[in-house]
Structure 1
Amino acid sequence: MNAYPSNIQVKPEVTPFFDAATNTISYVVKDPNSKSCAVIDSVMDIDYFAGRITYDNADEIIAFIQDNELELEWLIETHVHADHLSAAPYIQSKLGGKIGIGEQITVVQETFGKVFNEGTEFQRDGSQFDALFTDGDTYQIGTMQVVAIHTPGHTPACMTHVVGDVGFVGDTLFMPDGGSARADFPGGDAAELYDSIQKVLALPEETRLFMCHDYGPNGRDIEWETSVADEKAHNIHVGGGATKEDFVKFRTERDAQLAVPKLIIPSLQVNMRAGEVPADDDGNPMLKVPVNAL
Structure 2
Amino acid sequence: MSHTIDSFFHEETFTFTHLLADSVSGAAALIDPVLDFDQKSGRTGTAFIDAILSKVAEKGLTLRYVLETHAHADHLTSADYIRRQTGAAIVVGQPITTVQATFKKIFNEGDGFVADGHQFDRLLADDESLLLGATQIRALATPGHTPACMSLVVNHSDVFVGDTLFMPDVGSARCDFPGGDAGTLFDSVQTLLALGDDVVLHLCHDYPPNGRAVVSSCTVAEQKAHNIHVRDGISRDDFIAMREARDATLDMPRLILPSLQVNIRAGAFPEPEENGVSYLKLPLNLLG
Matched, 1:291 2:281: no
| 1: CA distance, partners of 2:225 / 2:243 | 19
1:49, distance to aligned residue in structure 2 (A): 1.2
Secondary structure (helix, strand or coil) at the match of 2:196 reads coil
* Partner secondary structure for residue 25 of structure 1: strand
Contact 2:169–2:226, Cα closer than 8 Å, also in 1: yes
1:60 Cα shift? 1.1
TM-score, normalised to structure 2's length?
0.97
- Structure 1 residue 280: Cα displacement: 4.0
Contact 1:153/1:191 (CA < 8 Å) preserved in 2? yes
Deviation track 1:237-280 (CA, whole Å, cap 9, x = no partner) reads: 11122110000000000000001100001000000000011134
* Cross-structure match for 1:171: 163
SS at match of 1:286: coil
8 Å Cα contact 2:145/2:181 also seen in 1: yes
Partner of 1:224: 216
Could you tell me whether the CA contact under 8 Å between 1:279 and 1:287 is conserved in 2?
no
For 2:239, the aligned partner's letter is F
Match in the other structure for 2:127: 136
Match of 1:196 in 2: 188
5+ residue gaps in structure 1? 1-9
Partners of 1:222 and 1:151 lie apart in 2 by 24
Secondary structure of 2:80's aligned partner: helix
State which of 140, 149, 161 in structure 2 corresponds to 1:149: 140
Instruction: Give the alignment of 1:90-109 within 5 angstroms.
Output: 90-109=81-100
Q: CA deviation at 1:286?
A: 1.0
CA contact (8 A) 2:140 2:151 kept: yes
- How many residue pairs get aligned? The number is 285
Q: TM-score, normalised by structure 1?
A: 0.95
Structure 2 spans left out of the alignment, 5+ residues = none
Per the alignment, residue 68 of structure 2 pairs with 77
Deviation at 1:11, TM superposition (A): 4.8
* Structure 1 counterpart of 2:118, from 127, 137, 150: 127
Report what 1:272 is aligned to.
Answer: 264
List structure 1 runs of 4+ shifted beyond 6 angstroms: none
1:118 partner letter:
E
How far 1:281 moved relative to its partner? Answer: 3.3
Secondary structure at the residue paired with 1:252? Answer: helix
Q: State the identity as a percent.
A: 48
1:12/1:29 contact within 8 Å kept: yes
How much does 1:218 deviate? 2.3
